[in-house]
Amino acid sequence: MRGATVVVMTLTAACAPARIAPPPPLTAPPPAPPVDFYDDVLPILRERCMPCHFPGGKMYGRLPFDEPATIRVLGTELFTRIKDEGEQATIQRFLDQKPGNEPLPGS
């Protein structure tokens, strides 16, 4: 039975409250400012995908790029045509954000 006593005492010691205060939590880096569709994403699309996916363009009816909903639906498929890493990162951050008060298509 001596063995059992040693085990119990060892467990008790392991569960004793730590005397050393835990280190303070690392301060999180400040969150990156949210990406705004109209301010941040749209200029990229205008620059690259004019005129076809904008008003008057032949793809505007099917894939209007001035609608945030289109960009959410296409998602990373856009990256087959938008290759710049910085631009991809901006669009990716937009996609990762919860949809805000963006108008839904047709509303």
Footprint of ligand HEC on this chain (CB under 6 A)? 48-49, 52-53, 58-59, 63, 74, 77-78, 81-82
Do the Cβ atoms of 65 and 71 come closer than 8 Å? Answer: yes
Q: How far is the CB of 82 from ligand HEC (least distance, A)?
A: 5
Q: How far is the CB of 87 from ligand HEC (least distance, A)?
A: 9
Nearer to ligand HEC, 57 or 102 (CB): 57
Do the Cβ atoms of 63 and 74 come closer than 8 Å? Answer: yes
Nearer to ligand HEC, 69 or 82 (CB): 82
**Best CA proximity match to 72, nearest among 52, 97, 50:** 97
CB-based contacts of 37: which residues, under 8 Å, 6+ apart? 68, 71, 94, 102
Both tokens of 40, joined, read 């941040």
Nearer to ligand HEC, 42 or 74 (CB): 74
Q: How far is the CB of 96 from ligand HEC (least distance, A)?
A: 18
